């Protein structure tokens, strides 16, 4: 077993990479413009009230635009979304290239083919080092049980093995 000998960012990034996580798209449509980003630090928080959370870097230029809207669409990306996840995480270009999206009446934007869609509102933002923890209240949920989620592990997108 290798031992972590440093708390330097590169060593911590490697250590954190060993923790598999789902990938979500956090999106909204504002004045006809689709705005979105990918996050791999998503977690269910509470059933009552219904809460979820994700982490966002303090240096994000997309998050301040999304934080200003009333409703955000959270799409838990499916196993066919490996390219979409990278596109949504890109700093430049059309983050929605090649993606089918749907926007609800509240402006929450969702990615087609996702395993779960959550219409959410921001309830809290907690400073946490070089990130913020964003807590969201779920106002509506849609599940596509037949779609398996994509998993981010050790800097790669992976699929879950069936029947395991």
Instruction: Give the pLDDT confidence of 144-162 residue by residue, as tens digits.
Output: 988 888 877 566 666 766 7
Q: What is the CATH number of the domain that holds 62?
A: 2.30.110.10
Q: Does 157 map to a domain?
A: no
Identify whether 9 is part of a domain. no
Domain count, the chain: 1
- The answer to whether residue 10 sits within a structural domain is no
Is pLDDT of 118 > 70? Answer: yes
Q: How far apart are CA 59 and CA 29, in angstroms?
A: 22
Structure tokens at 133: 């923890």
| CA distances to 79, 81, 123, 149, 157 from 153, in Å | 13, 15, 29, 13, 6
pLDDT at 19: 63
Report the alpha-carbon distance of residue 7 to residue 97 in Å, rounded. Answer: 37
Is 2 among the domain residues? no
Q: What is the pTM of this model?
A: 0.86
- Structural domain that includes position 64: 19-148
In a domain, residue 44? The reply is yes
User: 2-20, pLDDT tens digit by residue?
Assistant: 565 677 877 777 776 666 6
Beta bridge partners of 131: 57, 128
Q: Is residue 119 part of a domain?
A: yes
Q: Per-residue pLDDT tens for 29-75?
A: 999 999 999 998 899 999 999 999 999 999 999 999 999 999 999 99
In a domain, 14, yes or no: no
Q: Could you tell me if residue 1 is inside a domain? A: no
């Amino acid at each position: 077993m290798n031992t972590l000998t440093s708390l330097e960012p590169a060593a911590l990034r490697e250590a954190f990479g060993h923790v598999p996580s789902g990938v979500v798209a956090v999106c909204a449509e504002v004045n006809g413009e689709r705005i979105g980003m990918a996050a791999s630090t998503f977690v269910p928080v509470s059933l009552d009230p219904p809460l979820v959370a994700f982490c966002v870097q303090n240096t994000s230029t997309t998050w301040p635009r999304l934080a200003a809207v009333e409703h955000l669409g959270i799409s838990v990306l499916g196993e066919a979304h490996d390219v979409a996840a990278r596109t949504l995480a890109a700093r430049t270009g059309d983050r929605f290239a090649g993606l089918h999206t749907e926007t609800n009446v509240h402006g929450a934007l969702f990615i087609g083919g996702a395993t779960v869609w959550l219409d959410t509102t921001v309830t809290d933002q907690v400073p946490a080092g070089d990130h913020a923890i964003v807590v969201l209240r779920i106002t509506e949920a849609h599940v596509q049980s037949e779609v398996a989620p994509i998993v981010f592990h050790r800097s790669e997108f992976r699929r879950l093995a069936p029947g395991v």
